[in-house]
Structure 1
Amino acid sequence: MTIPLFVAAAISGCLGYWVVPLLRAFKTGQFIRKEGPQGHLKKAGTPTMGGIFFVPVAVVLALVATGFSQDVLAVSALTLAYGAIGWLDDWQVLRLRSNQGISPKTKLFLQIILAVLFCLWMLTTQPATITTVALPLGVALPLGLLFWPLAGFVLVAESNATNLTDGLDGLMGGTGAIAFWGLAAVTSPTHPGLMVFCAAMSGACLGFLLHNRNPAKVFMGDTGSLSLGAALGAVGLLSGNLFALTLLTFLFFAETLSVILQVGYFKATKGPDGVGKRLFKMAPLHHHFELSGWSETQVVTAAYATMAILAVLALGLR
């Protein structure tokens, strides 16, 4: 686990010193939405699309290290495909010079199509045991046909959850590194190829953090965040570790849930003037803590600590 982590971290970290200035030269500066925290307006112009250099590093390293293993090849293809959706969204933002990329419906449609294709591949190539989910204490839960709609949901939900989490300097990069490292440890006994992939992804995230830590010199953009979520979901599905995946990525789903609750409560309490109430000062959840007086680094540090606890819990209950 340590070799692919360190190699990926070193390569992506070094590569960033070349790619980040290129992104700046190509004027890939991020547009900051005015509705967000006012303190973020100073980040306008920071290069985005950082996912184009650290995600491929992990993918190529994992493929070479595992001899192009079938499982790693499939997960890598899905990771890059979701990254392509993210790149399209980032490119549209830059082309239109606004914070609005491709439409949410288009993005969701593309995510669902890729999820269905990946599920079809699993259905035709994986053994019947793929539909069994491992639970704590050695319990196995056979889901049968119910596994497939769940699998599609996991891929789409994970990619959107990581996308929403990517809102502070170093937040998604650091929490992603911890999540992948935990998933590498969980999969190591039964799926060594996927372990290598996760370790490489963890290392690539750490290398990216060298340039994304506060104050960030580059953002990963949807190119990176959608890739990370798809990779986590795919590994969890192929290894039969959906329970562990849920624990490892609980923070990402908490971020997503905060958005759902915020929107739902606002609509439910909307008065004749068209204005509703809010559960949080702002969603996703990390912005709520910011507006509650936490500094950006305090929020990110707390997220790292939470992820570390979740990783330990996932390992203890595997």
Structure 2
Amino acid sequence: MDAKLSPDQGLNFSGIGLASSLAIGLGAAALILDRMANRLPWQLTSLTLPLLLCALSSAVIGFWVIPLLQALKTGQIIREDGPQAHLKKAGTPTMGGIFFIPVAVMIACIGSNFATEVLAVCALTLSYGFIGWLDDWQILRRKSNKGISPKMKLALQIGFAALFCLWLMFNQPANITNIALPWVSFSLPLGILFWPLAGFVLVAESNATNLTDGIDGLAAGTVAIAILALGAIIAPTSPGLMVFCAAMSGSCLGFLAHNRNPARVFMGDTGSLALGGALAAVALLTNTLVALFILSGIFFIETLSVMAQVSYYKATKGPDGKGKRLFKMAPLHHHLELSGWSELQVVAVFYVIAAILAATCMAIA
């Protein structure tokens, strides 16, 4: 009798295929970029080796950590007003950021020989991961979707951003307050206005990646693409931070071994806030905010969809206190799901868009 794949088995195979394709693509890209820059790919001071080491380490460690998270009953609480297809994910362990973020930080520190700027970015990344952990822990403790209050979360984000900016103010590279513009040999002098912008970028980027983390493999894959491209762009001037970017990209890929559809673990705010903070911190240190804006196109659109949904609902609110919705559900990836797209279709399209943005950004740089 011929064996037939069940729908779940077919979905699992597609999830593996998508994650594997991304891993192979980014691994090949790292190798090519190293060869083009005359870097030895088997050294830690390259894009390739940190990426591969972190990918392998995160994937292996995940097999030990995920059962531990299950034993600790860290099952995700699913929103009842979200896509109904997500209700079956209830109980999937969350807080996955606790194992793949530290892996990247450790290898990045070793690979960069504990460079000062790498230590600073790692500290900011772990600080934002700590905020996310507090939020995840409160959600699990209360057994609801409400973690720490939005005001508390924002206050902590601003506080750690202020500390990072304070460090940056006294250890800043030359002309860091002049924003470099692509295509022209001109920079935008912001002076003292740079510092509130820097704080805003840190908070906004971390929240944007957090909003993107709503479908299996979506945030991990798109961040892996964006941060590897950022590492390639800054490589000539900031080799230590290049190693950090490669390591973080690799850790995201290793996490995808467990987070691809159907996910065995979610990164939670522990992972998503840390990833956004890492992207923003590297861009601020290397004066690549324009590149960050392009690379964060997916995260930017996801955030805009939420802002537009809330604004439209408030603007159309009637006497009954109810307004109209611009999207079936925000962020955008949920709207696409409710419009008939499968999770895998959304993730695949977003991966392609992220890759196009990355290629465009590197071409400009």
Task: Provide the C-alpha distance between the structure 2 equivalents of 1:135 and 1:215, rounded to a whole number of angstroms.
Answer: 41
Partner residue in 2 for 1:33: 79
Looking at structure 2, the residues matched to 129 and 10 of structure 1 have their Cα atoms a distance apart, in angstroms, of 38
Q: Secondary structure at the match of 1:129?
A: coil
The equivalent of 1:208 in structure 2 is 255
Number of residue pairs aligned between Structure 1 and Structure 2: 318
1:97 to 143, 167, 178: 143
Partner letter of residue 114 of structure 1? F
Distance, in Å, in 2 between the alignment partners of 1:251 and 1:127 is 29
* 1:147-204 per-position Cα deviation (integer Å, ceiling 9, x unaligned): 1111000000000000000000000010010011111111111111110000000000
- Separation of aligned partners in 2, 1:170 and 1:92: 24
2:340 and 2:187 mapped to 1: Cα distance?
A: 44
Deviations 1:269-315 (A, max 9, x none): 00001111111110001000001110000000010000000001110
State the partner residue of 1:225. 272
Q: Give the alignment partner of residue 113 of structure 1, picking from 159, 182, 186.
A: 159
Greater mean deviation of Cα atoms: 138-147 or 190-199:
138-147
Q: Distance in 2 between matches of 1:307 and 1:17?
A: 28
User: In the aligned structure 1, how far is the partner of 2:67 from the partner of 2:284?
Assistant: 37
CA distance, structure 1, for counterparts of residue 173 and residue 227 of structure 2: 24
Deviation at 1:128, TM superposition (A): 4.0
Whether 1:166 and 2:166 are equivalent positions in the alignment is no
Cα distance, 1:141 vs. partner? Answer: 2.1
C-alpha distance after superposition, 1:217-270 (max 9, x if no partner): 000000000000000000000000000000001110110111011001000000
> Which residue pairs with 2:93 in the alignment?
47
Larger deviation, residues 278-287 vs 119-128: 119-128
RMSD between aligned residues: 0.7
Indicate whether 1:191 and 2:238 are aligned: yes
Partner of 2:298 in structure 1? 251
Greater radius of gyration (CA): 2
State the 1:24 CA deviation: 0.6
Which of 116, 122, 131 is residue 76 of structure 1 equivalent to? 122
Match of 1:102, as an amino acid?
A: I
Report the Cα distance in structure 2 between the residues aligned to 1:104 and 1:38, rounded to whole angstroms.
25
Q: 2:198 aligns with which of 151, 157, 163?
A: 151
Per the alignment, in what secondary structure is the counterpart of residue 259 of structure 1?
A: helix
The answer to whether the aligner puts 1:126 opposite 2:172 as a matched pair is yes
**1:299 aligns with one of 346, 349, 358:** 346
Structure 1 counterpart of 2:59, one-letter code: G
Following superposition, the deviation at residue 99 of structure 1 comes to: 1.2
Select which of 108, 111, 116 maps to 1:62.
Answer: 108
Inter-partner Cα distance in structure 2 for 1:134 and 1:204: 29
Cα distance, 1:140 vs. partner? 2.2
Contact 2:94 2:267 in 1 (8 A): yes
For residues 13-39 of structure 1, the C-alpha deviation after alignment (integer angstroms, 9 at most, x for no partner) is: 110010011101111000001010011
Q: Distance in 2 between matches of 1:51 and 1:268?
A: 37
| Aligned counterpart, 2:311 | 264
* Paired letter, 2:89: K
- Aligned residue in 1 for 2:67: 21
Superposition TM-score, scaled by structure 1 size:
0.99
Identity in percent = 68
Which amino acid counterpart does residue 290 of structure 1 have in structure 2? E
Q: Secondary structure at the match of 1:294?
A: coil
Counterpart CA distance in 2 for 1:16 and 1:231 is: 21
1:215 Cα offset (Å)? 0.1
Rounded Cα–Cα distance in structure 1 between residues aligned with 2:342 and 2:143: 29
User: SS where residue 309 of structure 1 aligns?
Assistant: helix
Residues of 2 paired with 1:26 and 1:292: CA distance? 36
Give SS of 1:130's match.
Answer: coil
1:313 aligns with 2:360: yes
Alpha-carbon distance in 2 for matches of 1:304, 1:253:
15
1:157 is matched by which residue type in structure 2? Answer: A
